[in-house]
Amino acid sequence: MLAGKNILLCVTGSIAAYKSAILVRLLVKQGANVKVIMTQAAQQFISPLTLSTLSKNPVLTQYADEKGNWNSHVELGLWAHVILVAPSSANTLAKMANGICDNLLTATYLSARCPVAVSPAMDLDMYQHPTTLNNLAKLRSYGNLVVPARFGELASGLVGEGRMAEPEEIIAFLEEEVFAPEQETLKGKTVLITAGPTMEPIDPVRYISNHSTGKMGFALAQQFLRFGAKVTLIKGPTTAQPTFNGNLNVIEVSTASEMFDAVTREFEGKDITVMAAAVADYTPAEVSGKKIKKDGHVLELQLVKTRDILAEIGRIKKTGQILVGFALETNDEEKHALEKLKKKNLDIIVLNSLRDSGAGFGHDTNQVTLLDNKGGKKQFELKNKTAVALDIVKAITEQL
């Protein structure tokens, strides 16, 4: 299962670093491509030469090597199918949980879009300390995976929880938690996602739009790709231009009308459609061919309703096609979301409330409730949008 996978192993300062040699050996034996990043502290426990020999790749320790060649953290992050931090010291866990970016490892972690797994290794009291527990909970809330530490004798001589999992256990964890779902669940499925705002022109220089950044739709596309689906992403104009690993077709549109045409054209035959775009509900009745001059105190702009894309595809959807919409509400949230679910003939509606801080437009986080057409309800805590996307993809997979 690991053959051909790009695994970025990050080794930090813990006595368990000696097990990294066995881990690299086993990964290479399975046919994985392994690159290793080591922190300064890790090099006091095991030599880079050992890991470069076993991985057949130079070990990376700095932003640039001694010849001045840059080790691009961005490229490393994009190369990796998984980042595995093993052993993960309390110090590195804390940095990752809090966005501290002071070495090649943490910079790569922040740049990466692939799954991340950490395998903690530390003394029992450090492992049980509230700050470590909080940091692990934060990492989980970002969608990162934690290989639980094991019970046993520790380097201090004390006995308790804190030993790094054995290399064989870590490999089994990668196979089950990272790569197995990707191979099975959505292979052969076709997915249509919309993301970002639309831009409704008023004249050649002005437009009406909204604060959507597209982040939620991009995170969904990334997760669907991870599970092996073939994704078509229809996106409105966004500042962020993400790059994706996998089978993705991107269609750029600008106005609600262009998005309507693209979605209705692409919808046929798609197994799953998720409308995450913030489509303008109204558009100027007429677009001035020339820049509108300012004369007079008041400028009246007549707006006409755009066509509801989601309602239209809900009307034409066939049995077996799954349709998911979003609802951003400020009051009577659940009631309004359920009305939209029914009115637009959806299978699932993703509700975010503007009353929850950290949810909705612009944030990297979101807090959602999923309501489905069988009366099901799943409420989630505030999470990074990658983790929210994973929850949504899992709920959709259950419906298939």
Q: How far is CA 397 from CA 140, 182, 224, 351, in A?
A: 21, 12, 10, 18
Strand boundaries in 158-252, DSSP class E = 159-163, 190-195, 200-201, 207-208, 230-235, 248-252
Is 210 a known active-site residue?
yes
**Is residue 238 packed enough to be buried (19+ CB in 10 Å), middle (13-18) or exposed (0-12)?**
middle
Interface residue list for ligand CTP (CB under 6 A): 256, 275, 277, 279, 281, 306, 308-310, 325-328, 340
What values do phi and psi take at 166, rounded to 5?
A: -70, 150
Q: Considering 210, 245, 247, 373, which one is annotated as catalytic?
A: 210
In whole angstroms, give the CA distance from residue 69 to residue 320.
52
Sequence-separated (6 or more) residues with CB below 8 Å from residue 39: 10, 11, 12, 13, 61, 92, 103, 105
* 8 Å CB contact between 351 and 368: yes
CB of 282 to ligand CTP, least distance (A): 9
The residue among 138 and 336 lying less far from ligand CTP, judged by its C-beta, is 336
Instruction: Give the Cα-Cα-Cα angle 47, 50, 56 (nearest 5 degrees).
Output: 135
Which are the catalytic amino acids? 210
